[in-house]
Amino acid sequence: MIQIENVTFTYNNSEEKGNLKNINLSINQGEVVLLCGESGCGKTTLTRLINGLIPWYYEGELTGSVKVADKEIREQPLHTLSQQIGSVFQNPRSQFFNVDTTSEIAFSCENQGLPETEIQRRIRQTVSLFHIGNLMDRNIFHLSGGEKQKIACASVSAGEPEIYVLDEPSSNLDVTAIDDLRDIISCWKAAGKTVIVAEHRLYYLMELADRIIHMRHGEICHEWTSEAFLKMSQAEVEKFGLRPASLKQICGIHRFGAHSSGSYKVRHLAFAYKGEKQSLNIPNLSLPHSAAAAVIGKNGAGKSTLLRCLCGLEKKCSGEVETDNKTYPLRKWAKKCYLVMQDVNHQLFTESVLDEVVLGTDSTDMEKAENILNQLDLLPFKERHPMSLSGGQKQRVAIAGAIFSGKDILLFDEPTSGLDFRHMEQVAGLMQQLKRQGKTLLIVTHDPEFILKTCDNIIHIDNGSLTEQYSLDRAGIAKLLDFFELR
């Protein structure tokens, strides 16, 4: 079905990583292939070879042949290729062309110029196959990330391609949404379609994948079946720089943290978005000093709302915080908090890393700033534009700004979304460093490995209220794994 022979590819744009060398790959019809590897290993580039974005969108030097159904990709225009190959990407927010869901599902078909009756039939079929009847005729902007991704899959599916290419589709999704994604892929597999998925999170595809291909530095290194992969020990998996694929590989990550002295006791937290009756209602919440708490919960449960309220972005939120036997109103305490947003790009304003660190303060203490940059391994980049750095580096710049401003409580919204194993470890290490410096951390995350490496206690939010708060001892770990359905 797909034949890639002797392909070497180099991007014209030197900023892009993931050049390929000597790729030889053959994929049969009906196979589900999982591409894995560290960031920059070339798995995304490989998907772009298959769906035609290389050479039709991304420019570069391409040698070798890429054939789908015995026809060269580079000889067919993108709109013809899209009839055979459907693509789903990482970011649910930027994949839709229309504002309402039904039109979006019809999009592929409309572009092919299919007759209206046929399009309606396909929509009905896709909707019943994926059980998304409740999502019809709705404003896409009002859907959750998981629902948006389902619509994206449905839209591609309605075009009835033979091959599906997915590039890190689960990056921004929570546990339930990932389950739905897995169901969708298994529908495709059952229909005999060929599916290629480039991913960091491997566990949800273990039952579906026929082949697991590992890449490094632009070359294919290893190939396993899923049974063989699952037989590997945790140490072996980590050596490849991959995320654990099963419970056996996760256990033993956690190091139980030291006891902290004192805590912030947040009380009577209450907030409602405009038009809602109550978005957040937490009578009591405890944040131990110099420790990291993970905030978990389903999408829409109110986790981000909690962070936004605690750092003072939601002015209508009321509450108080007790610490050191003194009680402060929420607004005053919020000044000690600093939020590192999920999309770090919203938080970078200046033209050099050094300027970014001191932004917002009136201080000109460059030495202090440089010290902080040094701690975070950013000193060589101090004159670089923040937006030219990698995702992880940008995150560290934002953190540097927080440390410089002297704020003690750092809030993180999904800091490891889409990161591979090594980078996740780096972030975890950074968190430990911050804890040692006496910072208190509150992290919203869907990443169980990260939680086990970093956090000391768990805050479980559901429907705007606190379901449970527990520390990560043995029993706690069991509860955590239950929540992530890893048992």
Residues 40-99 that bind another protein (CB under 8 A): 51-53, 55-57, 59, 74, 77-79, 82-83, 85-87, 89, 91, 93-99
Residue nearer to another protein on the CB measure, 141 or 273: 141
By CB under 8 A, tell whether 138 contacts another protein.
yes
Rule CB under 8 A: choose which of 69, 258, 387, 475 binds another protein.
Answer: 387
Least CB distance to another protein at residue 90 (A): 8
Identify which of residues 59 and 183 has a Cβ nearer to another protein in the complex: 59
Residue 80 CA to residue 74 CA, distance in Å, equals 11
**Is 346 exposed, middle or buried, given 0-12, 13-18 or 19+ CB atoms closer than 10 A?**
exposed
- Provide, rounded to whole angstroms, the least separation between the CB of residue 103 and another protein: 4
Site track for another protein across 304-333, x = CB under 8 A: ----x--x-x--------------------
Mention every residue, 6+ apart, whose C-beta is less than 8 A from residue 209: 32, 33, 34, 197, 226
If one asks whether residue 137 binds another protein (CB under 8 A), the answer comes out as yes
Other residues' Cβ atoms within 10 Å of the Cβ of residue 423 = 19
- Position of tokens 């990291």? 292
In the complex, the smallest distance separating the C-beta of residue 284 from another protein, rounded to whole angstroms, is 26
Which phi and psi (to 5°) does residue 189 adopt?
-65, -40
CA dihedral for 369, 370, 376, 378, sign (positive or negative): positive
111 binds another protein (CB under 8 A): yes
- Measuring CA to CA, which residue among 377, 376, 383 is closest to residue 351? 383
Residue 312 Cβ vs another protein, minimum distance, rounded to whole Å: 8
Give the shortest CB-362-to-another protein separation in angstroms. Answer: 10
DSSP calls for 292-326:
EEEEE--TTSSHHHHHHHHTT--TT-EEEEEETTE
Instruction: Residue 298: name the closest of 133, 199, 174 by CA.
Output: 174
Q: Nearer Cβ to another protein, position 352 or 467?
A: 352
Question: Does the protein bind another protein through residue 273 (CB under 8 A)?
Answer: no
The minimum distance between CB 308 and another protein, in angstroms, equals: 8
Q: Exactly one of 68, 119, 306, 354 binds another protein (CB under 8 A); which one?
A: 119
| CA proximity to 374, closest of 413, 403, 416 | 403
Minimum distance from residue 450 beta carbon to another protein (Å): 23
Residue (53 or 237) nearer to another protein, CB: 53
Q: Decide if residue 361 touches another protein (CB under 8 A).
A: yes
Q: Provide the strand spans (E) within 184-335.
A: 194-198, 211-216, 219-224, 263-271, 280-288, 292-296, 318-323, 326-329
Tell me 391's DSSP state: H
Find the shortest distance in angstroms from Cβ 340 to another protein.
9
CB of 117 to another protein, least distance (A): 10
How many residues in the shown chain lie near another protein by CB under 8 A?
A: 75
Candidates 274, 277, 326, 346: give the one binding another protein (CB under 8 A).
346
Residue of 45, 108, 194, 279 that binds another protein (CB under 8 A):
108
By the rule CB under 8 A, 365 interacts with another protein: no
Residue environment code for 94-130, b if the CB has 16+ CB neighbours within 10 A, otherwise e: ebbeeeebbbbbbbbbeeeebeeeebeebbeebbebb
Strand order in the sheet with 20-27: 20-27, 2-11, 60-68, 71-72
Quote the CA–CA distance of 210 and 208 in Å, as a whole number: 6
236 binds another protein (CB under 8 A): no
Q: Which residues contact 360 (CB under 8 A, 6 or more apart)?
A: 401, 405
Whichever of 254 and 308 has its CB closer to another protein, that residue is 308
Residue from 207, 236, 276, 343 binding another protein (CB under 8 A): 343
Is residue 476 at the binding interface for another protein, with CB under 8 A as the rule?
A: no
Task: Report the site for another protein in 154-193 (rule: CB under 8 A).
Answer: 155-156, 159
Min separation Cβ 329 and another protein, Å = 18
Smaller CB distance to another protein: residue 245 or 369?
369
Q: Give the residues across from 327 on adjacent strands.
A: 322
Rounded Cα–Cα distance for residues 242 and 234 (Å): 10
Q: Which of 172, 218, 222, 238 is nearest to 199 (CA)?
A: 172
Q: Contacting another protein (CB under 8 A), which of 31, 100, 179, 219?
A: 100
> Which residue(s) pair with 85 in the sheet?
163
If the CB atoms of residues 95 and 457 are measured against another protein, the closer one turns out to be 95
* Residues 203-222 within binding reach of another protein (CB under 8 A): none
